[in-house]
Amino acid sequence: MSDIVQEMGIGGPLSPAVLRARIYRYNLLLRKYWWLPVLLLSGSLLVQGVRYFLGEPMYVSTGRMMVSPRIMTTEAAVYTEELSNYFGTQVSLMQSEAIKHRATVAVESANPELKDILAELAVQQEPKASIFILKVTSPNPKYSQLFADACMTEFLDFKKEMRGETSQKTVDAVAKQLAELEKAIADLDQRLFLFKQENNVVFLQEQGNYVGTYLLDLNKQLAELKKESQLLDLMSVDQTLERQMQNTADGPGKKDDTSGASLVEGPQSEYIQTKRQLQRARARLEQLSKYLRPKHPKILALKDEITRNERKLEIVRQQSRESITEKRQAIQLQITNLEKLVAESETKALDVGRKMAEYEKMKSERDRQQQLYDRLLGTVQNVNVSQDVSQFDVNILERATPALSVKPGFLRSLLIGLGVGLILSGGMLFLLDRFNDRVATVVELCEHFTEPIYGQVPEETPDADGRLPLLTPQDTRHVYAESFRNIRSSLRFVGGEGKKKNRVILVTSPTPGDGKSTTTANLALTLSFATDERVLLIDGDLRRGGLHRLFGLEGEPGLAEVLGGQAEWRKVIQKTPYKNLFFMSSGEPAGHPGELFFNAYCEVLLQELRAEYETIVIDTAPVLAVDDTPSLAPKVDGTLIIYRAGRTSCRLMRNSLEALYSRNAKILGIIFNGVDPKQPEYGYYKYTEYYYSKTVSRKSTTPATGNTAEGVDGSGETAAIPPPPVPGQGTAEGPPAITVRKS
């Protein structure tokens, strides 16, 4: 987002800047369509006035009903109503078409002369009371009173019928369910009887307990054997013998099959003794080797003893391996046998469990059906008791009063007319705003587009000829001139690298009439005023180019002749009345103008112009009018697109940007043209007193007479301010200067 938007602090849909922009937008809309609210308000007031003065008098009769106290009984109520919405339900029922139709039929049956009379029924609940107020309005006083009484009577009859019908439906439904339950209970009793005949329930229960205990013991034994088998597979022979020795030491004389202590004690004891003798011999050999020679008799004897013990230890290991293998096989046979027993026991347990589960299910289902049957039987017995007792009952408190003549007050009619007119006006203005996608403030522009905003150009009043004068070095339109200086600064210091940024600039707009040519010319002038750098302004609108008329220069030859190879570019460039500004007109194309930008010489021309001029500004045709601009835009350093406030459609602007982006054009940003300087978010207008703090007095402004007006700037020096250029006059150094004295 641009710096302008960041300075305004646009932070969301409810930020102060957005709210001010919305207010300003609706203010513009109201100023443009002021006649629409006036027309709608006048029409609404006229309709209400006609209804007030020509309307027939109406008669109102009022009746009152209240909720009667209820009688509490020990029996459960069968007929109940929704308590949370009770009063709203009663009001809606009293005003329903069914009650009004019944009341109409009752009144017309008793009074045949009162037919085809329209009546309006309104019901409301009295605040903080259980009382309903019925108001009937009709053009006949007698009919109003009779209709009010009939509505209350028919409401009570309708409630009684609805209660009786509901109770009877309840009885019928419960009786039907009772018959179904009786049949279901009889069927369950028969199934239970047959099951007991086929199976001894007591024996099944005992068998299930025994099988469960037996299966638990088998699983424990199987788990211990599997554990022992895994240990024998994992441990080495030495570890197994040591473990057996440890188990023997912990429980001497005990025989434990699962721990492995059942092996023959002889090999185990001999293994331990041999291993200890071997350890002692090795220790003795290590001790004697320190001071005896290797062939000493004691050394040789110890070595022989070590060799014998090692052989003996290996024999014991081999015997132990065979013993462990036999034990492993025995354990595996026990595991296989136990797994078979477990499988058989599980099958028996599942069969017993299935039968017991089936029995318990039938028994539980029978008990549940019996409980439901008893509960429904009690409900049927309570129906007759509670049939005429409702949770709440509404009775007539006051009969309908004699009808009184009423007529809406003048003030009420006036307020209704104003309200309707304002609502219609607001709705129409809202619809007009929704269908209008043209924006007038920079805040709205930032909501629609993400491209940077390079500046805001205020709206200026044209002269008597309908033309807007170009800027001068010391132009007195300070706010207008400052806006172009802001754009100039953005071009110099925003984007790119190095001192020379955006040397070839293309300026365009979505549609004709957006102020593109005038803005381009003033931008080129502002660039030429800044330094001594040479600025070239090119009229790139080969179809309707008119920049030469703003400077009073020739229109031919120009760019079309250069691209067509009919002229050399140095010969078609013209000097303007301003020192550093040069101009190339559009010329007169011989064929299709858009094809000239596809010419290979187009890029060569831009390169040659870059070498000659510091900045090149190109004014082109509108993007959506022809294809010339999208074809030229990719060849320049950057493109500025103009959006005219309150005129350019955002949809067309978006289409233009998409057309440029699709050609890989570099979009520098948007110039917001034609902005109302008095709008809330326009910054320069708020500080106009800074420019006009010193009064400027002119003695003469006619360059033809040569008269001048002397002026002194803030430093006491005389300042020369050139006037707007006159077509056909002036030199390359600039137009004749005038002197202005500042007071």
Query: Can you give the pLDDT at residue 285?
Result: 83
- What span, in angstroms and rounded, lies between the C-alpha atoms of 27 and 672? 20
The model's pLDDT over 193-240, given as tens digits with 9 standing for 90+, comes to 777 767 776 666 676 777 778 778 878 888 888 887 777 777 766 667
Regarding the domain delimited by 202-386, which CATH topology (the fold level of the hierarchy) does it fall under? Helix Hairpins (1.10.287)
Q: Kindly give the pairing relationship between strand 667-675 and strand 453-458.
A: parallel
Contact 538, 668 (CB under 8 A): no
As annotated, the residues of the chain forming the CATH 3.30.70 domain(s) are 58-172+396-406
> 566 forms bridges with which residues in the sheet?
none
Query: Can you give the pLDDT at residue 126?
Result: 87
Average pLDDT along the chain = 77
Contacts of 728 (CB under 8 A, 6+ apart): 552
Query: Can you give the pLDDT at residue 130?
Result: 86
Contacts of 23 (CB under 8 A, 6+ apart): 680
| DSSP per-residue letters across 285-322 | HHHHTTTS-TTSHHHHHHHHHHHHHHHHHHHHHHHHHH
Strands (E), 528-605: 535-539, 574-575, 581-584
Average pLDDT over residues 487-499: 70
Residue 1: pLDDT above 50? no
Q: Among candidates 215, 484, 500, 527, which has minimal Cα distance to 349?
A: 215
Query: Can you give the pLDDT at residue 388?
Result: 52
Look up residue 232 and give its amino acid.
L
The b/e string for 205-222 (b: 16+ C-beta within 10 A; e otherwise) is eebbeebeeebeebeebb
Cβ-based burial of 224 (10 A; exposed 0-12, middle 13-18, buried ≥19): middle
- What span, in angstroms and rounded, lies between the C-alpha atoms of 614 and 185? 106
Query: Can you give the pLDDT at residue 622?
Result: 92
- What span, in angstroms and rounded, lies between the C-alpha atoms of 237 and 218? 30
CATH number of 442-462+470-692: 3.40.50.300
**CATH architecture of the domain covering 58-172+396-406:** 2-Layer Sandwich (3.30)
As annotated, the residues of the chain forming the CATH 3.40.50.300 domain(s) are 442-462+470-692
- Rank 315-329, 360-374, 382-396, 681-695 by mean pLDDT and report only the highest: 360-374
In Å, how far from its chain's centre is CA 571? Answer: 61
Kind plus residue range of the DSSP H or E element containing 591: none
What three-state secondary structure class fits 129? coil
In which band, very low, low, confident or very high, does the pLDDT at 11 lie, cut at 50, 70 and 90? low
Query: Can you give the pLDDT at residue 545?
Result: 83
Look up residue 456 and give its amino acid.
Q
Q: At what angle do helices 141-198 and 97-110 cross, to 10 degrees?
A: 130
Query: Can you give the pLDDT at residue 670?
Result: 92
> 615 forms bridges with which residues in the sheet?
535
More confident residue, 613 or 688: 613
The b/e string for 587-598 (b: 16+ C-beta within 10 A; e otherwise) is bbbeeebbebbe
Question: If phi over 0 gives left and psi between -120 and 50 gives alpha, with beta otherwise, what is residue 495?
Answer: left
The model's pLDDT over 447-480, given as tens digits with 9 standing for 90+, comes to 888 889 888 888 887 777 767 888 888 888 888 8
Tell me if the bond preceding 557 is cis, omega within 30° of 0.
yes
Name the H helices within 123-140: none
At which residue do the structure tokens 């009001």 appear?
Answer: 91
Q: Among candidates 609, 612, 648, which has minimal Cα distance to 506?
A: 609
At which residue do the structure tokens 């009859």 appear?
Answer: 157
The model's pLDDT over 670-721, given as tens digits with 9 standing for 90+, comes to 998 888 877 766 655 555 555 554 444 333 333 333 333 333 333 333 333 3
Provide φ and ψ at 454, rounded to 5°. -80, -15
- Least confident range from 60-69, 414-423, 496-505: namely 496-505
How many residues are there in the chain? 743
- What span, in angstroms and rounded, lies between the C-alpha atoms of 198 and 207? 16
Half-sphere exposure of residue 648: CA atoms within 13 angstroms, side-chain side:
33
Q: Among candidates 719, 524, 507, which has minimal Cα distance to 619?
A: 507
603 C-beta neighbours (distance < 10 Å), count: 12
- What span, in angstroms and rounded, lies between the C-alpha atoms of 453 and 628? 24
Predicted TM-score (pTM) of this structure: 0.48
The model's pLDDT over 533-577, given as tens digits with 9 standing for 90+, comes to 899 999 988 888 888 888 888 888 888 888 888 888 888 999 988
As annotated, the residues of the chain forming the CATH 1.10.287 domain(s) are 202-386
Contact 499, 612 (CB under 8 A): no
> 63 forms bridges with which residues in the sheet?
134
Cβ-based burial of 737 (10 A; exposed 0-12, middle 13-18, buried ≥19): middle
- What span, in angstroms and rounded, lies between the C-alpha atoms of 191 and 361? 11
First-to-last CA distance in the chain? 42
Tell me the two tokens of residue 487. 């754009």
The model's pLDDT over 290-306, given as tens digits with 9 standing for 90+, comes to 888 888 888 888 888 88
Name the H helices within 33-140: 35-54, 86-94, 97-110
Contact 594, 631 (CB under 8 A): yes
What three-state secondary structure class fits 734? strand
> 508 forms bridges with which residues in the sheet?
641
In which band, very low, low, confident or very high, does the pLDDT at 253 lie, cut at 50, 70 and 90? very low
402 C-beta neighbours (distance < 10 Å), count: 11
